[in-house]
Structure 1
Amino acid sequence: MNPVKQVPKPPQIGSPVLAGILFALIWLAAGALLLSLLLHFSNMKENNLPNLSLAVHGVSSLAGGFVSGRRSGRKGWYHGGLLGVIYGILILIIGFLAADASLSLRSAALLGIALLAGAFGGMIGVNTKK
């Protein structure tokens, strides 16, 4: 049996922003699942979903920014903000292609929330110890 030091490590994603987007999408899937379970098993109304979905996007962008900032090791606000913009544009493109959603004030709010949450997560992530 090989000692622990000789066991090869699994491959890591090289780009901090790409790793952050992957983690943000994982958090988005978990948040969407949580919202759907709350909608099904509680007496929550569908009218609350647009605001709660913005909160889920904010938390997802915050988590992605955290991972991006932590992996970059410097300029956390930059990497997190870049992640937030890319994440927001990706969500808008998916919404446009899948649900024929148009650009609106809500789209600008989504981009703003994703940018600010990602930048804040990047600032927190870059200041955590590895």
Structure 2
Amino acid sequence: MNNRFKAVLFGVLLVYGLMLSASFILALFVRFDWISTQSLDWLPFLISLTIMLLGGGLSGFRSSEKGWLSGVLVGVIYTVMIMLYQFLAHDVWLHDGQWLHFITFLLASISGGIIGVQLNQRND
């Protein structure tokens, strides 16, 4: 397999794994009343941004060149899969502010990819 393909695959798998874990933990917090749903306005968005940064970073670190491209691929694959899930499972295309969220996730993933390449070059 191509090195970039492997790097992007690992980045996407990391993003989905961390998103599932974070969703499960947040659901447990809400279920056992450790946190109220009213206080969850920005927390899931900030967690998602951090996870996208990490996924892009892993992708850029593993590809060791053109981190922006690896970050774009991770962000686009994540966004397309979420849009497909919404459309196929919930019969909803996009909500009002979701484009802004997806663009922000893409920018976080690109930033992570660039940072990942720089961290990889620093280790050489």
Structure 2 partner of 1:65 = 56
Q: Which of residues 1, 11, 25 is equivalent to 1:34?
A: 25
* Distance change >3 Å, CA 48–CA 88, structure 1 → 2: farther
Identity of aligned residues (%): 33
Residues 35-50 of structure 1 correspond to what in structure 2 (within 5 A)? 35-49=26-40
What secondary structure sits across from 1:42 in the alignment?
A: coil
Deviation string for 1:87-117 (max 9, x for gaps)? 1121121122222223133220221121011
Q: What is the TM-score with the length of structure 1 in the denominator?
A: 0.77
User: Residue 122 in 1 paired to residue 113 in 2?
Assistant: yes
What secondary structure sits across from 1:127 in the alignment?
A: helix
Structure 1 partner of 2:88 = 97
* Distance change >3 Å, CA 72–CA 110, structure 1 → 2: same
Structure 1 partner of 2:11 = 20
Gaps of 5+ in 1: 1-11
Q: What is the TM-score with the length of structure 2 in the denominator?
A: 0.80
RMSD, matched Cα? 2.3
Structure 2 partner of 1:53 = 44
Structure number with greater Rg is 1
